[in-house]
Amino acid sequence: MENLIEQLTAKNSEYVHSVTKQLMLLGKSDEEIKEILNEILPKIIEGQKEGILARKLLGAPVEFSTQYKIEDKAEHQEKEKNESPFLMWLDSALLFFGVISVVMGLMGLFQPQASVYGVLTTLASSALAGLVMYWMYKYFYSAQRAQKKGKGFAMLALAMVAWAGVSVLVALLPKSINIVLTPYVTIVLGAAVMGIRFLIQRRFNVQSSMARPTK
- Are 70 and 107 in contact, with CB atoms under 8 Å apart? no
Categorise residue 59: left if φ over 0, alpha if ψ from -120 to 50, beta otherwise.
left
Query: Taking the model in full, what pTM does it have?
Result: 0.59
Average pLDDT on 25-46 reads: 88
Report the range of poorest mean pLDDT among 9-18, 30-39, 75-84, 180-189: 75-84
- DSSP bridge pairs for 82: 206
Average pLDDT, the chain: 84
**pLDDT value of residue 94:** 97
- Are 192 and 110 in contact, with CB atoms under 8 Å apart? no
Contacts 24+ apart (CB under 8 A), 165-169: 166/124, 166/125, 166/128, 167/121, 167/124, 167/125, 167/128
Question: Using CA atoms, how far apart are residues 116 and 199, in angstroms rounded to an integer?
Answer: 28
With 90 as the cut, is the pLDDT of residue 28 above it?
no
Question: Using CA atoms, how far apart are residues 108 and 100, in angstroms rounded to an integer?
Answer: 12
**pLDDT value of residue 71:** 52
pLDDT digits (tens, 9 = 90+) for 157-208: 777 787 778 777 887 888 889 999 999 999 999 999 999 999 999 899 998 9
More confident residue, 64 or 76: 64
Angle (CA) 85 194 112, round 5°: 125
